[in-house]
Amino acid sequence: MPDTDKSQHILDALYATVSARKGADPETSYTAKLLAKGTPKIAQKVGEEGVETVIAALAESPQKVASESADLLYHLTVLWADQGVKPEDVWKILAERQGISGIAEKASRKSD
């Protein structure tokens, strides 16, 4: 399996877990707590993690960039769950931009 498929699988699995936290107990789940705070807070976290990723690139290390990127991607999946955006919606756009029609069609079928 190509690495891109593996990465997609990890984000798909993370999104499924994050989505399942909607309405869960905020006392036992950071994700449930963040989702309960609503869009402004979730969007703010995405912005903060993006800035932290930039700072890591400009002033820290590749390892820190990787760690901050993981935080950013996690918070992005929380924003997708909040907004009703499915990962397939994003994969489809990326695949179309790359001219990968097979992947775009597969993503389109999954999101129907």
Ligand X SMILES: N=c1c2ncn([C@@H]3O[C@H](COP(=O)(O)OP(=O)(O)OP(=O)(O)O)[C@@H](O)[C@H]3O)c2ncn1[C@@H]1O[C@H](COP(=O)(O)O)[C@@H](O)[C@H]1O
Binding site for ligand X (CB under 6 A): 14, 17-18, 21, 29-31, 45, 71, 74
Between 39 and 98, CB nearer to ligand X: 39
Between 59 and 102, CB nearer to ligand X: 59
Between 45 and 92, CB nearer to ligand X: 45
Question: Is there a contact between 22 and 29 (Cβ–Cβ < 8 Å)?
Answer: no
**Dist CA 94 CA 103 (whole Å):** 9
Alpha helices, DSSP H, located in 1-100: 3-20, 30-37, 39-59, 62-83, 87-98
* Least CB distance to ligand X at residue 27 (A): 11
